[in-house]
Each structure stands twice: as C-alpha cells, then as structure tokens.
Amino acid sequence: MILMILAFLYTSLIGAFKEVKEISLSDLIGKINAGEVAKIVVRDSDLDVTLKDNSELRSKKENEAALSETFKNYGVAEEKLRAVAIDVQNPDGILFWLGVSLPFLLPFLLIVAFFWLTARQVQRANIQAFTFGQSRARIIYPNNAKERVMFKDVAGAKEAKEELVEIVDFLRSPKKFIDIGARIPKGVLLMGSPGTGKTMLAKAVAGEASVPFFHMSASEFVEMFVGVGASRVRDLFKMAKKSAPSIIFIDEIDAVGRHRGAGLGGGHDEREQTLNQILVELDGFETNESVIVMAATNRPDVLDPALLRPGRFDRRVILDLPDINDREDILKIHSKTKPVDESVNLRRIAERTPGFSGADLANLVNESAILAARENRKQVTQMDLINSIEKVLLGPERKSHILSDNEKKISAYHEAGHALVAAALPETDPVHKISIISRGRAAGFTLKLPIEDRHLYSKTHFLSELAVSLGGYAAELVSFGELTTGASDDLKKATDLARALVTKYGMSWTPWLKN
C-alpha cells in the first residue's frame, strides 16, 4: 500500500513538472511580436510559456536582469507585451520543493519500505511459531442461535438421548451430584456407523445444557513437528476449563487413539505422544470441574484399552442405523426447509430406505430438491424423492450411454434373470424396479427393497441372495449360450457373500465351524 501511494505521488508530481519543448529567448520574442503568446509564468530563471493555441513551451530569461528590461532591450512592442499575461511565482512552494527532492528521496524511501516489510514478515513468522501449538478448536457458544443444536433437532436415537440426559443434568446443576458423592463420567464415547449423527448429538448435549462446545477433529492435533499435538491438547483443555461448564468434542478419535506401539515410530511416535497427553488430561480432572469430554468413532475395535478404562471414556453410547420410524422423523426434519408438496408420503420413502443413515437421508432430500429445481418446479414431489433414492444408491442416470440393440437385449435378459430368481425363492427381498438404463458404473440394475427392517438373517436368506446374484449369469448362459463381462460384478458379490457365509457366519456345509 505504501509503495502504491509513493508511486502515485511520484507520478503526480513528476507530471506537474513534465518536460516541454525548450525555445531560445529570441524565438520567444518573435512569438510575442507575432501575437502568439497568451501567458508567461516566471519561476526564478525559468519561463513557462502558454501559447494561444494552448500549447506549452519553456524558455529562460537572462540572469541578473529584469524580464521587462530584457523584453525592451530585444525590441518588444509595448502594446504586444501588454497583451501577454505575466505571472511571477516564488520558487519556495511545497510542490516545487517536492518535485525537486522526490527524485532523490524516492529510492531511499523504497529501500526503507522494503526493509520495514521484511522485518514485519519475520516478526509475524515468529508469532506464528509461538502460536503453532495452540488449539484450533471451533467453539460454539450457547448464545449462537444459528449453530446451536437441540435434542429436538436430532431425530431418532432415543436410547442414546436417554443416556446423555444425565450429562445434561450434570452440566446444568452439578451441585446435586457432588453433594451426594456421585461421580459423573469424565468421558463419553459415541460409537456408530458413519452418518448416524454422532456429531449432531454431541452438539445437542451442549445446546441442551447451554454450555460452550469445543469441537476439534483428532487429525488436527498431529503435525509433522514433534510435540505440537500434545501442546494443542493441553491448550484445548485449558480453554475448556476456563469456560467451564463446557464440553470438549473430539471427532474421529481413532486417528490418535489407536493401540500404542503398533506404528512405525514405536513409543516415540507423535500420535502416541498426543494420545498420552489426552490420557493425562482426562486423569487430571477434579471432581468439581464441570468439563465433559465427548468423542466419536466408527472404529471402536482399534482404540487403545487405556482410553476405555473406568475414569476416562467410561460411558459408551452406541448409535445404530435408524429404523423405519426414525427414518420418517429424520425425513420430516430435513424436509422442513424444503417446499415439499402436500401429497408427499414420507412414510413410503422411509419404507424404501432401509439401511440409510441420517446423512444419507439428508442427502436424499437435498437431491430431490435439486431435481425439482433442475426441472423448474417450485415443489418437491413424491417421484422426486423416489428417483433420488435410486440416485443415492446407484448413482446418476447415464442416458447418453448408448447401447446397441444386442447389448440392450443381453442387459434385459440379465436383469430379468435376477428378478425371476428373486420371485421364485423364499426369504428374498421383493423387486421394486428393473431398468437397463445405465446408472453409475452399472449397465442396468434390479432394485430390491426389504419389506421391513432386519437384524437377523438366516442361512436360507443368504443362499437365496446368492442365487439371485447369479441369476443374471445363468440367464445369459441359458439364453445366449455364452457369457459377457456384464456378470463380473455379480460374480464378485456372490464370491464375497459365499466367503462371509462360511468364514464369518459359520454357515458352511461341513459339520464343523470354520473361523
């Protein structure tokens, strides 16, 4: 900015003293006698001449001689001289001196500005070096209505909410727990599949208790420099204690909470130092410190046992995928902000989305709104939601993917083979839709959706699903006498299912179980 201002001043001032054509004094006398001169400005020995055609010239008068005497000596007619406006200016004006001195001062000022900017950058780098180990937690305060989340904003997870109500009560009124000698859990571990609402539920606890919420991902602790992770942990807990009662939430804690000693760095691994500092901070809480540590993971099996012992993360809350009632509630919440048509039946959509997480359902509603906007409609219809289910499950339609007539015939027989086997065998999910329009990486698809949520599966179900997976394979072989590459994905899925049936579920045909 300083350099730009100096450049502007230099341009402006130099422009005021721009070079003009120099003429001799005798030529100037000739132009005066010819009546061409309109004005003469006298600056010391310089004469700035303005002609009647507005062109500018410059000349010099004789030293130690008055200008009027010089003109008389050169024989200028008196009436011609009276027609010329003569303005005598003193050379001590600030503009004059700036114009004289700036060409000499400007290089010096540029050098000073360069060293000043360099010193400032070095100082800023030093400050950043000292703040590198500070916590980068995002803080949500109770008065932030825009980001505040309540239990009513988190649909489903009824059992998880009941588990966390005690935490809310402790943060609201810790005295009644302390007076009776009760010890509230220092840490709460939220476990569940991705998209089941672990982060939203942690925010809801802070929102219900009206306490500050310190949110940080576990991967943000660890850097390439040794000791930074532990320093950030100390700073995070220090900030939370100053704002007590408060909640610390560490997302994806398995990034730093894995079993120690398993990494390449051994005991000196930076990740392990960070984990050690978290354990120290958890042990350092006093009974009267109203700071609750919450963490989320979808890999509880890889966590270090020291994290899970009593006195640390001793309260574990499991979040499952939502059932049909929870899915309907989640759809209602996400459709509140969308212009949904009155004829939309969210219960039907919930029935068609078993296995969807809360994040999947939010994406489903958003995709349906995008589809309606793309077709220039003002409301989201039932068909928008149904089409969005297929898009979320299988990917977008590829209508530009052109198939030959023979390929269309093979795809049709292939998908019909899946559907026929599914209709003939017991314990298979009913077929909802068959299509040979490409979606995602599939040339066609047979969409099967279960009638109800299932938690236990029988061997008959797995064998039927195995046969359905190979139904397209068999249809191609029976109808055309040869196979195509279209059955490759079906073979992979069938192989994975057969391997899991034997090695994971122990449903082999041999009389003994296999591990």
Catalytic residues: 415
- Check the annotation: does 433 bind a ligand: no
Q: Residue 232 corresponds to which tokens in the numbers above? A: 């950030």
Q: How many helices (H) and strands (E) are present in the chain, helices listed first?
A: 19, 13
Q: Residue 369 corresponds to which tokens in the numbers above? A: 């709104």
- Check the annotation: does 46 bind a ligand: no
Of 202, 226, 385, the closest CA to residue 294 belongs to 202
- By the 8 A CB rule, do 134 and 235 touch? yes
Q: At what angle do helices 158-172 and 198-209 cross, to 10 degrees?
A: 30
Q: What angle do CA 21, 23, 29 make, to 5 degrees?
A: 135
- Check the annotation: does 197 bind a ligand: yes
- Check the annotation: does 418 bind a ligand: yes
Q: CA-CA distances (angstroms) from residue 264 to 10, 57, 224, 272?
A: 61, 82, 14, 11
Q: Residue 90 corresponds to which tokens in the numbers above? A: 């003193």
Q: Residue 169 corresponds to which tokens in the numbers above? A: 């009560």
Q: CB-based contacts of 155: which residues, under 8 Å, 6+ apart?
A: 322, 326, 329, 330, 332, 333, 358
In the chain, the amino acid numbered 360 is: D
Extended strands (E) in 305-370: 315-319
- Check the annotation: does 227 bind a ligand: no
**Residue owning tokens 């994040």:** 359
Q: Residue 251 corresponds to which tokens in the numbers above? A: 């997302």
Q: What is the CA radius of gyration of the chain?
A: 41
- By the 8 A CB rule, do 121 and 35 touch? no
Q: CB-based contacts of 32: which residues, under 8 Å, 6+ apart?
A: 71, 76, 80, 81, 84
- Check the annotation: does 198 bind a ligand: yes
- Check the annotation: does 493 bind a ligand: no
The whole-angstrom separation of Cα 432 and Cα 451 is 11
- By the 8 A CB rule, do 257 and 297 touch? yes
Binding residues: 192-199, 414, 418, 490
Binding residues for Zn(2+): 414, 418, 490
Binding residues for ATP: 192-199
